[in-house]
């Protein structure tokens, strides 16, 4: 009896192709899990068709054991098969990649800025094969046709914004046309409230203490009207300082109604003055997607700092191990937000990003245009 193990790979090209139970199981056991690679994240993206075109691609593997029975030799030749039995195991999900292609109202702007964003990096099984990961990444590079959108153009570039260490797989990413881009982040240890308060920087402790002393209160379960007040502050920040597009009000309204979206706001004298917008992967991590406040308006009051601190405490009080700040800029570039994030006692990590440029000329034009707009 001889046995041969054959591994058969299967590409899952749409959300409905991916078995939901296997997907959830992969989220629970994968060391690369984030909220952004869950079924809920895909459904949230799909609920915002004016902002983005979502995609979900999976790779599964099936193992087949080929057993061959033999009956002696004939004329001195090798054994002759008498019968074969092929036993198959069900397909096992090995990877999922959830992301979205940005969508603009202006056709001209869409032409020059369309890009595919994979927040958190792909969801991988710990025992995924190099072949399966290669199949996933090469499939991601051909998004429109594989998502039933043959008439649409390829994204100018595809970017994975990694929240975990993918260095083990760097050679596979590079073989598939993705280049590594250094990018920093902060992970705050939220294993307990005591750990949070111990690691908090002195200046940040002082800011939080004076903010509380002067009457700012947390709003842990805001109404939709209070969230709208917060959105007005955030939109002003993006218009005047950040100078990059912000998702519409509809995006934030939809996030407010998801199971794991959390809006933690700060209030002063009856007015919303800041807050943080987070999403939660239960028992694992809280991700700070947006944070803002009317900093500098009131003496000794620091709405943004207090909001982030409240988000960190929420993570510690709800069994999450990490508060992920979702990015702190490129290491070689000055970045004021990095200084803000550094004072909450988190560990600075560099998990970077992987970038695949499909249209080099349009990529250069788009990046140049963004730089010019930010200088204005």
Stated pTM of the model: 0.89
pLDDT tens series, the chain, 376 aa: 554 445 578 999 999 999 999 999 999 999 999 999 999 999 999 999 999 999 999 999 886 555 555 554 444 444 444 444 444 457 899 999 999 999 877 777 777 788 999 999 999 999 999 999 999 999 999 876 444 454 466 899 999 999 999 999 999 999 999 999 999 999 999 999 999 999 999 999 999 999 999 999 999 999 999 999 999 999 999 999 998 889 999 999 999 999 999 999 999 999 999 999 999 999 999 999 999 999 999 999 999 999 999 999 999 999 999 999 999 999 999 888 999 999 999 999 999 999 999 999 988 887 777 666 666 6
pLDDT at 357: 95
Max Cα distance, the chain (Å): 98
pLDDT at 80: 41
Distance CA 47, CA 61 (A): 30
pLDDT at 370: 64
Residue range 99-138, pLDDT digits in tens: 999 987 777 777 778 899 999 999 999 999 999 999 999 9
CB 41 within 8 A of CB 98: yes
pLDDT at 364: 87
- Closest to 121 measured CA to CA, from 278, 281, 353: 353
**Which domains are seen in the chain, by residue range?**
2-181 (3.40.630.30), 185-348 (3.40.630.30)
Distance CA 348, CA 362 (A): 33
Residue range 264-291, pLDDT digits in tens: 999 999 999 999 999 999 999 999 999 9
pLDDT at 113: 80
Distance CA 328, CA 179 (A): 19
Rg (CA), the chain: 24
| DSSP designation for 319 | T
pLDDT at 65: 55
pLDDT at 85: 44
Q: Which residue has the tokens 């998801």?
A: 258
């Amino acid at each position: 009896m001889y046995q041969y193990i054959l591994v058969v790979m299967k590409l899952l090209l749409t959300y409905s192709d991916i078995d939901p139970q296997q997907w959830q199981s992969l989220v629970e056991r994968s060391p690369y899990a984030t909220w952004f690679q869950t079924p809920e994240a895909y459904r949230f993206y799909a609920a915002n068709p004016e902002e983005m075109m979502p995609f979900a691609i999976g790779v599964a593997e099936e193992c087949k054991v080929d057993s061959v029975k033999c009956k002696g030799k004939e004329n001195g030749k090798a054994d002759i098969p008498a019968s074969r039995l092929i036993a198959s195991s069900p397909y096992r999900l090995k990877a999922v990649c959830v992301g979205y292609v940005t969508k603009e109202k202006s056709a001209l702007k869409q032409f020059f800025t369309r890009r595919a964003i994979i927040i958190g990096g792909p969801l991988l099984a710990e025992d995924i094969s190099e072949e399966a990961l290669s199949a996933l990444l090469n499939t991601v590079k051909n998004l429109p046709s594989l998502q039933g959108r043959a008439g649409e153009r390829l994204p100018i570039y595809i970017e994975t914004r990694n929240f975990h260490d993918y260095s083990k797989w760097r050679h596979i990413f590079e073989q598939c046309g993705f280049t590594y881009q250094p990018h920093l982040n902060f992970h705050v240890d939220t294993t307990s409230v005591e750990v949070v308060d111990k690691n908090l920087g002195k200046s940040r402790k002082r800011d939080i203490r004076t903010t509380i002393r002067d009457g700012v209160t947390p709003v842990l379960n805001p109404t939709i009207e209070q969230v709208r007040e917060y959105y007005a502050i955030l939109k002003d920040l993006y218009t005047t300082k950040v100078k990059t597009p912000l998702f519409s009000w509809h995006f934030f309204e939809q996030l407010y109604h998801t199971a794991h979206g959390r809006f933690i706001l700060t209030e002063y004298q009856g007015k919303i003055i800041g807050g943080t917008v987070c999403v939660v992967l239960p028992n694992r991590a809280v991700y700070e997607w947006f944070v803002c406040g009317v900093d500098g308006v009131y003496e000794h009051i620091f709405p943004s700092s207090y909001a982030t601190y409240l988000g960190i405490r929420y993570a510690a009080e709800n069994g999450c191990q990490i508060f992920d700040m979702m990015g702190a800029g490129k290491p070689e570039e000055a970045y004021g937000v990095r200084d803000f994030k550094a004072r909450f006692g988190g560990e600075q990590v560099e998990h970077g990003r992987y970038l695949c440029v499909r249209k080099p000329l349009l990529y250069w034009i788009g990046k140049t245009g963004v730089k010019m707009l930010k200088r204005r």
